[in-house]
Amino acid sequence: MSKSSIVKVAVTQHEPVWFDLTATVDKTCKLIAEAAREDAKLVVFPEVWIPGYPAWIWQRPMDVELGTKYVKNSLSYDSPEMARICTAARTARIAVVLGFSENDHNSLYIAQCIINASGTIVMKRRKIKPTHMERTVYGDGDGTSLNNVVEVEGIGRVGGLNCWEHMQPLLKYHTNSQHEEIHVAAWPPMHLAEKGVESKVAWGMSSEGMYDSLVANTQAAIPFSRFQDSFSSANFPLRLYPSPLSHIEELTNLLFQGASALSRVHAIEASTFVLCCHPTISTAGITAHRVEGNPLFGHIGGGDSAVYGPDGRRMTEPLGMDVEGFVFADLDMDELISIRLFADAVGHYSRPDLLWLGADTREKKHVKREGDGGSAGREKEKLALEEDKGEV
């Protein structure tokens, strides 16, 4: 448990400087300092905040020009830019959860790291399976990415997942098993319909929102033909199952409500605080991606940063989907004790004698040489695997 009963957190809702490593790192350091001046002890950033989410992949997966620029502006751990961010955390005496596109010898990964208030990186992970079109840009994380929760001094046990990793029950349960107290749910921008419905759509993104009114608001703002053109049978000739919903209803349900619902459910299942973090996207961002008018990411907005309590309630008011700013909240860590009196899914409210999860948390190397430990090394690796399986 954290040393302080009350922990003030800052959830960012800002726009990156798209595909510009130096400028986005500048902005990151500035935001770290601003959050600290508001007495926050933890500040969190969204999925691939640096150098921004590659939204063009949902319109045209092959863009060599943007792809090359994206690789060159992605962040490496052993870089001056990462050192600057760590220094900013140390100077401000604030912990940071950072989402970024990790450049590892020009292969990219959707990465998260946790930096403590001393400026030390205490957790590194990669999204274990990039989602759908993201796989045209990013590789997979290995078993070490399952170790995604760490004790952060003065705060508590902090962990994180990216985007639709919150749809993976086994991954979520493994995260829960590490007894996290503050969870960072990092998301890309959730696209906005048209100017004039921002506040209604922002409200509808939370699970308090009424689905029917959300669809009505969106249909009023965007001609159905625009969605129909992009999601026509010519582009999507195969339906795996019949659906009573129109294309616009399916798209709205999936994107507008999904992030909030999944973040809220994780708060309830894990009995943890969830910091749900989105960036925004402006006209400049849409132009940078060349996605003007596209149903996905082709409209301004995208922000719905929020804090959820361990009972699932939304603790913060929305800023507005196109508004840059911080969402602040004071977390009473003693609430975790009260909530877990009733249910602890990896403690007293579980049956590991009946149901259990297996996990392989080892690093997977591309080359295994005989000289690296020999038979003794292989035996040690075998024992480690058996321990993971509960066979020792």
User: Taking the CB of residue 80, how many other CB atoms lie within 10 A of it?
Assistant: 9
Contact 161, 175 (CB under 8 A): yes
Shortest CA distance to 106 belongs to which of 135, 69, 143, 132? 69
Q: Which residue in the block uniquely carries the two structure tokens 């620029």? A: 69
Shortest CA distance to 259 belongs to which of 211, 306, 296? 306
- 186 forms beta bridges with 162, 277
DSSP three-state, residue 23 = helix
Residues 6+ apart with CB under 8 A from 259: 163, 185, 187, 190, 205, 276, 278, 304
127, 181, 249, 277: the catalytic one is 127
User: Taking the CB of residue 292, how many other CB atoms lie within 10 A of it?
Assistant: 11
- Amino acid identity of residue 354, one-letter, is L
d(CA 345, CA 351): 9
Contact 300, 281 (CB under 8 A): yes
Determine which helix (DSSP H) or strand (DSSP E) holds 365, and give its type and residue range.
none
Residue 53 to residues 47, 81, 106, 300, Cα–Cα distance (Å): 7, 18, 17, 14
Residue 127 falls in the annotated catalytic set: yes
Q: Which residue in the block uniquely carries the two structure tokens 């955390």? A: 89
15, 27, 41, 47: the catalytic one is 47
Contact 85, 96 (CB under 8 A): yes
Determine which helix (DSSP H) or strand (DSSP E) holds 138, and give its type and residue range.
strand 138-139
d(CA 246, CA 262): 22
User: Taking the CB of residue 162, how many other CB atoms lie within 10 A of it?
Assistant: 27
Strands 306-308 and 273-277: antiparallel
DSSP three-state, residue 8 = strand
Residue 29 falls in the annotated catalytic set: no
113, 163, 276, 277: the catalytic one is 163
- Amino acid identity of residue 332, one-letter, is D
Positions annotated as catalytic residues are 47, 127, 163
